[in-house]
């Protein structure tokens, strides 16, 4: 029996399927019940199936999808990829590094992954971008529900520093953008009531990140929807 060419985040199957660090960390975070948006990883096997069956064609680096409706039918009826109720972000599941920065630049946001044309466009652009990275071996693609965020940014938590460094990139009215240092919560410690509500939720998220991954140096991409502070990426 052919193994499924996708992995659901939180299944714990990314390591044995050879998924790169970026996808593995999100899978581990979801399995540890950290707030990771619903999603999955379409593995390189799916790309190879598409080439073999004529669902996709590769001309040099360029990938073409001749029939988006056919691709849609195979993904949802044959492969049985779950239908996600929200629009999604589609990006490479490879590790983030300077050599692969352009892979992150082609991330497609707000994709209706159940729409055949949007599905085909997002996948062919991601596959084409990965083909253009010369040392790229695997074409795993991360598909994850979008968060309707009020506030979002990055956070750096480092073992050698007693405070976490937070950068707010987008914010709701009345909240300032910019960077600030935030005290680190210890186990069982209450969140800091003097902080904005999103920062209190972020404190809890960062404590969960350290509990899950250890006391290393981590960069977190996060988005807060007013109720939950979501973990979007771990570097």
Question: Which of 19-28, 143-152, 182-191, 223-232 has the lowest average pLDDT?
Answer: 182-191
Domains of the chain: 6-145 (3.30.1490.20), 151-234 (no CATH)
pLDDT classification of 134: cutoffs 50, 70, 90: low
Element (H, E) at 127: helix 116-131
Residue among 181, 228, 184, 179 at smallest CA distance from 209: 184
Identify the H or E element spanning 45.
Answer: helix 44-53
Q: Is the pLDDT of residue 132 over 50?
A: yes
pLDDT at position 95: 56
In the chain, the percentage of residues whose pLDDT exceeds 90 is 70
Task: Compare 186 and 118 and report the one with higher pLDDT.
Answer: 118
Structure tokens at 101: 């920065």
Average pLDDT score, the chain: 90
pLDDT band at 1 (very low <50, low <70, confident <90, very high): very low
Task: State the pLDDT at residue 177.
Answer: 84
Q: Average pLDDT, stretch 37-66?
A: 95
Could you tell me the CA-to-CA distances from 125 to 21, 35, 91, 213, 224 in Å, in that order?
22, 28, 9, 32, 28
Q: State pTM to two decimals.
A: 0.89
pLDDT category at 167 given cuts 50, 70, 90 is very high
User: Are 91 and 142 contacting, i.e. CB atoms less than 8 angstroms apart?
Assistant: yes
């Amino acid at each position: 029996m052919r193994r499924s060419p996708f992995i659901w985040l939180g299944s714990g199957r990314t390591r044995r399927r050879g998924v790169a660090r970026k996808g593995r960390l999100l899978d581990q975070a979801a399995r540890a019940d950290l707030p990771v948006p619903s999603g999955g990883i379409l593995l390189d096997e799916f790309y190879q199936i598409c080439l073999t069956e004529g669902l996709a064609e590769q001309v040099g680096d360029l990938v073409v999808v001749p029939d988006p409706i056919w691709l849609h039918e195979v993904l949802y009826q044959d492969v049985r990829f779950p239908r996600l109720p929200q629009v999604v972000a589609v990006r490479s599941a490879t590790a983030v590094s300077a050599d692969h920065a352009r892979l992150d630049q082609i991330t497609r946001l707000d994709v209706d992954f159940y729409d055949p044309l949007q599905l085909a466009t997002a996948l062919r652009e991601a596959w084409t971008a990965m083909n253009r990275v010369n040392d790229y071996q695997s074409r795993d693609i991360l598909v994850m529900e979008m968060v309707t965020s009020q506030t979002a940014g990055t956070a750096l938590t480092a073992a050698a520093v007693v405070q976490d460094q937070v950068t707010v990139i987008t914010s709701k009215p009345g909240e300032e953008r910019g960077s600030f240092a935030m005290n680190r919560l210890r186990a069982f410690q209450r969140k800091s009531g003097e902080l904005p509500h999103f920062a209190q939720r972020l404190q809890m998220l960062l404590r969960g990140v350290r509990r899950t991954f250890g006391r290393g140096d981590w960069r977190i991409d996060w988005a807060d929807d007013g109720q939950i502070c979501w973990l979007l990426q771990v570097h």
